[in-house]
Amino acid sequence: MKRHLIAGMSACVLAASVISMAPGAQALGNNRTVSRGCGKNYVASNRWSDEGGWAQTTKVSGHCKGRLSAALQWSTGYRTPRVYGDNQSAYTSTDLGTVVLGLHWGCDNCDLTTS
């Protein structure tokens, strides 16, 4: 019995330490400046209400000449089509579905950032 108690406590301590080391969640409204290989972008998103929302990717600094883009992800996992802007900004919005993530690209082949 004592061994089971100690093993259970050790597992709880290990789980708590792993959880505390995990990075912050990427959730709708996690607006911030992100660094990319060719500069920095500000990524922002939010909901209108229970249905719909918006996402915007904006150049802060850098030399990237590529176009920025943005999209949204619904609670079902489906994504809106990627909307391409220019090399300064991209914006998208929808009135449909429960939006859970803003999706942002700093250029056509940049990695995806969520907000």
In a domain, 61, yes or no: yes
What is the tens place of the pLDDT at every residue in 70-89? 999 999 999 999 999 999 99
Query: Looking at the domain assignment, is residue 94 inside a domain?
Result: yes
Q: How far apart are the first and last CA of the chain?
A: 47
State residue 21's pLDDT score: 32
Is 82 within the bounds of a domain?
Answer: yes
Predicted TM-score of the model (pTM): 0.73
Number of domains in the chain: 1
Strand partners, 33: 42
Q: Is residue 97 scored above 60 in pLDDT?
A: yes
Residue 22 reports pLDDT greater than 70: no
User: Does the residue 12 lie in any domain?
Assistant: no
Q: Is residue 19 part of a domain?
A: no
Q: For residue range 29-53, what is the model confidence (pLDDT) as tens digits?
A: 789 999 888 789 999 999 987 789 9
Structural domain span for residue 83: 25-114
- With respect to residue 4, please indicate whether it lies within any of the assigned structural domains: no
Residues making up the chain, counted from first to last: 115
H-helix or E-strand spanning residue 40: strand 39-47
